[in-house]
């Protein structure tokens, strides 16, 4: 599959996340996005990918596509959370906002001074779009799990940004970033489980009563 197709699939996964109404579907979509990003790293690499690049790409795909969903779904199951996404902004409005965000990202990417590369501006546009979608999910959804997913999507966006701009990143840095994200998700999963056990829900809107 070509680079363009993967990028369009990433955009479609983002739109699917915006319009999703069940948490299980959202988690699986983020998993698919993670795998797509592994493929992206391989295809966008300038020249022949070395062993370290393969390692990072496959490792990232496995981590984001298999491990994180398993962690999150396990936390949800043991916390016995209801399956509906509870949004502040409904699915239709989210979808329309997503299309507008895509337009804005494309426009912004054209205006950024980027290094030479055949696909730079499209990659950067998709990266910006993922970041915006991740932010939107964090802001416009009530359940804590949606905020974790939003964080993961933002992380994916920043990763795509890196793929677009950085020629070669040291193996240690890449592994360090992956470890970072893994620890964050692990901790958030544990926190979710404990919040749910303590308060019987994971609605962050209700948690505002804690401020007193």
Partner 1 sequence: MQATSLIQPVLALVLSPLMFGVINRTKAWFAGRRGPPVLQAYYDLSKLLRKGAVYSRTTTWVFRAGPIVGLAAVLVATVLVPLGGEPAPLAFTGDLILLACVLGLMRFFTVTAALDTGSSFEGMGASREVTFSALAEPALLLGLAAMARLTGSLSLSGMSTAMALETWRQAGPVLALVTAALMVVLLAENARLPVDDPNTHLELTMIHEVMALDHCGPDLAFILYGAALKLWVLAALLVGLMLPVRTGNAWLDIGAGLGAMFAVAVAVGVVESSMARLRLLRVPQLLVGAGALAALALILTLK
Partner 2 sequence: MMGLLVAVAVLVCSALAALLAGRSPRAATALGAGGAVVACAIGLIAAVPVLFGAPAESLHLAWNVPYGTFFVQVDVLSAFFLLPIFGLSALAAVYGTEYLQAWRGRKSLGAVWFFYNLLVASMVLVVLARNGVLFLAAWEMMALTSYFLVTLDHEQDSVREAGWTYLVASHLGTAFLLAMFVLLGRSSGSLDFDRYSSANASALFLLALVGFGTKAGFMPLHVWLPEAHPAAPSHVSALMSGVMIKMGIYGLLRTLTLLGPPPAWWGWVLIGVGLTSGVLGVLFALAQHDLKRLLAYHSVENIGIIALGLGVGLVGVSNGSPVLAVLGFGGGLLHVLNHALFKGLLFLGAGSVQHGAGTLEIDHLGGLAKRMPWTATTFLVGAVAISGLPPLNGFVSEFLIYLGAFNGVTQRAEMAVPLLAAIAGLALIGGLAAACFTKAFGVVFLGEPRSEHAAHAHEAGAAMRWPMALLAVGCALIGFCAPFVVRPLASVLPLVSGLAPETVGEKLGDAADPLGFVAAGGVAFLVLVAGLAWLRRRLLRGRAVAETVTWDCGYAQPSARMQYTASSFAQPLTTLFAPLLRTRRTLAAPEGYFPRAASLSTTTPDTARVALYEPAFSGVGWVLARMRWLQQGRIQLYVLYIALTLLVLLVWKLG
CA distance 171 to 187: 24
- Binding at 176: pick from partner 1, partner 2, none (beta carbon under 5-8 Å per type): none
Question: Shortest approach of partner 1 to residue 99 CB, angstroms?
Answer: 5
Q: Are 12 and 75 in contact (CB under 8 A)?
A: no
> Does residue 96 bind partner 1 (CB under 8 A)?
yes
CA-to-CA distance for 127 and 40, rounded, in angstroms? 12
Please state the closest distance from residue 131 (CB atom) to partner 1, in A: 18
Q: Which residue in the set 77, 78, 83, 91 belongs to the binding site for partner 1 (CB under 8 A)?
A: 91
CB of 66 closer than 8 Å to CB of 74: no
Q: Please list every residue from 6 through 45 that binds partner 1, using CB under 8 A.
A: 8, 11-12, 15, 19, 21
Beta bridge partners of residue 167, listed in sequence order: none
Site of interaction with partner 2 (CB under 8 A)? 92-93, 103
For residues 24 and 90, which CB has a smaller minimum distance to partner 2 in the complex?
90
Packed helices 120-140 and 91-111: angle between N→C axes, nearest 10 degrees: 150
Determine, following the binding rule CB under 8 A, whether residue 123 of this chain makes contact with partner 1.
Answer: no
Other Cβ atoms less than 10 A from the Cβ of 119: the count is 17
How many Å is the Cα radius of gyration of the chain? Answer: 17
Residues of the shown chain interacting with partner 1 in the complex, contacts defined by CB under 8 A: 4-5, 8, 11-12, 15, 19, 21, 91-92, 95-96, 98-99, 102-103, 106, 122
């Amino acid at each position: 599959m070509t680079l363009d197709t993967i990028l369009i699939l990433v955009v479609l996964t983002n739109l699917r996340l915006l319009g999703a109404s069940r948490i299980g579907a959202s988690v699986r979509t983020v998993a698919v996005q993670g795998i797509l990003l592994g493929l992206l790293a391989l295809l966008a690499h300038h020249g022949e990918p070395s062993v370290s690049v393969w390692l990072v790409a496959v490792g990232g795909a496995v981590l984001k596509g298999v491990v994180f969903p398993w962690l999150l779904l396990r936390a949800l199951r043991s916390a016995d959370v209801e399956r509906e996404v509870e949004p502040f902004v409904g699915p239709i409005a989210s979808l329309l906002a997503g299309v507008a965000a895509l337009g804005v990202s494309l426009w912004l990417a054209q205006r950024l001074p980027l290094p030479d590369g055949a696909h730079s501006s499209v990659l950067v546009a998709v990266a910006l779009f993922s970041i915006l979608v991740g932010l939107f999910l964090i802001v416009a959804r009530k359940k804590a799990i949606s905020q974790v997913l939003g964080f993961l999507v933002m992380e994916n966006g920043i990763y795509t940004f890196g793929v677009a701009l950085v020629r070669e990143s040291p193996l240690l840095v890449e592994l360090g970033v992956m470890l970072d994200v893994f620890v964050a998700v692990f901790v958030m999963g544990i926190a979710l489980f404990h919040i749910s056990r303590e308060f019987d829900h994971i609605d962050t809107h209700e948690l505002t009563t804690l401020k007193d």
